[in-house]
């Protein structure tokens, strides 16, 4: 005969089942309270947030310096700002580019591998138009490849960008960026595998009424050997530095400013003329001014009074001898 459970034994079994059910429900609530982060195995983030932040900080400074440099070279106002720093695969980067475009493969010795500098045609042709004396209007944006002459002309602009790239990366490691190959079709120059992760630094360059994108694509295998050096310079721009570090920063700033071109003008004298007298002028006529013959002349730098001196000749060329700095009471 099978053993029959008593009423007390049945009640004990039911009580044990209720306790187990309550424990399982509490464990489920604790599991649901935990934070869950989404991870895409097809697009792994191989650069940490701190490393991405360091890239962003360094290239924000590069954008400002490049805007000043291009403005001086093109003699017009050029705006350049950092638009994005992100991680994606190389195939996604290539698919986002226009065709044709200015696609430059760069070497970055002593690092192995290649880096990509892509400049959108929407800004390439207006810059070329400005270099040739044009107005860089929206009509100068062309949907075609650059000619050999245009390529040689724009190569000077690329070299100016590479100078700022070298200066930007110098606090991390001195890299010699140089153009290894140039192509108009980005599909023809596979730099890394399509599924390789890259760090993409995007800039927006604005020239008058036109604007275009400039992208710096850094494959992860290229940047991996120097990731440990990012932490050493993470606060490079974030906190004031003194001592040797502050002196080195000031020296880099002075070295960067030495190449900036400025307009220097020497004023001989000034006088008032009516339009009739101006139209009646002829070669050999003498204009009388109020300035004495031996008075010092003013030299302006970028339109601002800076020095006082005398004009003359030196080695067969016109010259200006600086005597002293300009004072508030000095007049043209």
Q: Mind listing the domains of the chain with CATH numbers?
A: 49-257 (3.40.1550.10), 264-325 (2.30.330.10)
Q: Which residues contact 194 (CB under 8 A, 6 or more apart)?
A: 89, 90, 91, 94
The token pair at 167 is 């200066």
**Cβ neighbours around 217 below 10 Å, total:** 26
SS3 249: helix
SS3 213: strand
Residue 20 to residue 190: CA distance in whole angstroms: 60
Record the pTM: 0.59
Residue 129 to residue 207: CA distance in whole angstroms: 11
Residue 155 to residue 170: CA distance in whole angstroms: 22
Whether residue 289 contacts residue 270, with contact meaning beta carbons closer than 8 Å, is answered with yes
User: Could you read off the pLDDT tens digit of each residue along the chain, which spans 332 residues?
Assistant: 456 667 777 777 777 766 666 666 666 555 555 566 665 555 556 777 888 888 888 899 889 999 998 888 888 888 999 998 999 999 999 999 988 999 999 998 988 889 999 999 999 999 988 888 887 777 777 888 888 898 899 999 999 999 999 998 888 888 899 999 999 888 888 888 888 899 999 999 998 888 899 999 999 888 888 877 765 555 444 444 445 555 666 777 777 777 778 888 888 888 888 898 888 888 888 888 888 888 888 888 888 889 999 888 888 888 889 999 988 888 77
């Amino acid at each position: 005969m099978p053993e029959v459970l008593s009423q007390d034994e049945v009640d004990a079994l039911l009580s044990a089942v209720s306790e187990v059910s309550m424990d399982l429900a509490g464990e489920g609530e604790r599991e649901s309270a935990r934070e869950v982060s989404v991870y895409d195995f097809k697009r792994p983030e191989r650069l940490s947030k701190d490393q991405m932040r360091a890239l962003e900080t360094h290239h924000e400074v590069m954008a400002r310096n490049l805007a000043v440099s291009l403005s001086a070279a093109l003699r017009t106002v050029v705006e350049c700002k950092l638009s994005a720093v992100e991680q994606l695969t190389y195939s996604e980067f290539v698919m986002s580019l226009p065709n044709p475009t200015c696609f430059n493969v760069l070497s970055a010795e002593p690092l192995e591998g290649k880096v990509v500098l892509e400049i959108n045609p929407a800004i390439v042709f207006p810059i070329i138009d400005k270099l040739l004396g044009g107005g860089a209007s929206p009509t100068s944006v062309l949907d075609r490849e650059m000619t050999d002459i245009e390529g040689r002309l724009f190569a000077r602009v690329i070299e100016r960008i590479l100078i700022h790239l070298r200066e930007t990366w110098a606090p991390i490691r001195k890299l010699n960026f140089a153009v290894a190959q140039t192509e108009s079709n980005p599909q023809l120059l596979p730099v890394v595998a399509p599924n390789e992760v890259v760090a993409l630094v995007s800039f927006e360059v604005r020239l008058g009424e036109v604007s275009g994108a400039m992208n710096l694509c850094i494959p992860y295998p290229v940047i991996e050997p120097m990731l440990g050096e990012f932490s050493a310079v993470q606060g490079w721009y974030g906190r004031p530095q003194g001592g040797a570090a502050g002196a080195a920063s000031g020296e880099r700033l002075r070295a960067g400013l030495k190449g900036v071109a400025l307009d220097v003008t020497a004023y001989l004298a000034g006088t008032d003329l009516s339009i009739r007298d101006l139209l009646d002028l002829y070669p050999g006529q003498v204009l009388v001014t109020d300035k004495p013959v031996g008075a010092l002349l003013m030299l302006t730098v970028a339109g601002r009074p800076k020095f006082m001196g005398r004009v003359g000749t030196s080695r067969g060329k016109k010259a200006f001898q600086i005597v002293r700095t300009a004072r508030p009471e000095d007049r043209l």
